[in-house]
A and B are shown apart, each in its own frame.
Chain A
């Protein structure tokens, strides 16, 4: 099925470990995003990529890096995980459908626990 695929779905890390969250979309969307969701906080933007080869910081970028490997893939890397990064991470992609209307598709999320 067409959509956004995130891996892994669950991960437990020890403080200081590193890992990369993978995201791929097969809808030929230009824009891709990484969000984190914490209880009572809604979804907050970590990084986004408006097109292949470009990335920009969002609201909460500290402690993260991203790579837009190609049009399909947008990865999120934690270099040295901290307990404050325990969260659910969502990848999303978007494209203009009709003029100003944008369609957004979300992955199923990665639940990350840092101990």
Chain B
């Protein structure tokens, strides 16, 4: 069965510092996609970054980068130069196998940025 594990329920980071949010996944599919979403206190789900299993390079989007270690089945999100507005819940997700194509989510990490 496919599964996403986020082991950090909560994290604190000082403003302007970098932070890494952990994500490990389990799948037997050779082709899969990994996603990170941000959910601020307002509740909407905001797409941050995507990594495909066959991508040769780690994905980057502005201050977000994905540290993809395929052999270890990990897809950690790195946020550089943290800002107060980065305080939110962060979810790692994987596209499910088969035709349904739904996302399978981890339980999330609550990030708090301290001034």
Which residue numbers of A lie inside 8 Å of B, CB to CB? Answer: 31, 33, 35, 40-45, 48, 50, 56, 58, 88, 90, 92, 94, 100-104, 106, 108-109, 111
B11-40 with Cβ < 8 A to chain A: 31, 33, 35
Q: A42-B91, A106-B45 are in contact. Are A101 and B33 (CB under 8 A)?
A: yes
Say whether A42 contacts B106, CB under 8 Å.
Answer: yes
Within 8 Å CB of B33, what residues of A?
Answer: 100-102
Within 8 Å CB of A48, what residues of B?
Answer: 100-102
B68 within 8 A of A: no
Within 8 Å CB of A90, what residues of B?
Answer: 45
Tell me the smallest distance from the CB of A99 to a CB of chain B, in Å: 9
Within 8 Å CB of B99, what residues of A?
Answer: 50
Size of chain B's interface in residues, with CB distance under 8 A? 25
> Of A31, A44, A50, A109, which contacts B105 at CB under 8 A?
A44
Tell me the smallest distance from the CB of B23 to a CB of chain A, in Å: 12
Tell me the smallest distance from the CB of A7 to a CB of chain B, in Å: 15
> Which residue on A lies nearest to B107, using beta carbons?
A42
Q: 6 closest A-B pairs (Cβ-Cβ)? A: A42-B105, A106-B45, A43-B105, A42-B107, A45-B102, A109-B43
Say whether B108 contacts A42, CB under 8 Å.
Answer: yes
In this complex, the member of A41, A90, A100, A108 whose beta carbon has the largest number of chain B beta carbons within 10 angstroms is A100
Within 8 Å CB of B104, what residues of A?
Answer: 45
Tell me the complex Cα distance, A111–B41, Å. Answer: 13
Within 8 Å CB of B91, what residues of A?
Answer: 42-43
Q: List 30 A-B contacts (CB under 8 A).
A: A33-B102, A33-B103, A40-B107, A41-B107, A42-B4, A42-B105, A42-B107, A42-B108, A43-B91, A43-B93, A43-B103, A45-B102, A45-B103, A45-B104, A50-B99, A56-B100, A58-B102, A92-B45, A92-B103, A100-B31, A100-B33, A101-B33, A102-B101, A104-B47, A104-B103, A106-B44, A108-B44, A109-B43, A109-B44, A111-B43
Say whether A31 contacts B101, CB under 8 Å.
Answer: yes
Tell me the complex Cα distance, A103–B31, Å. Answer: 16
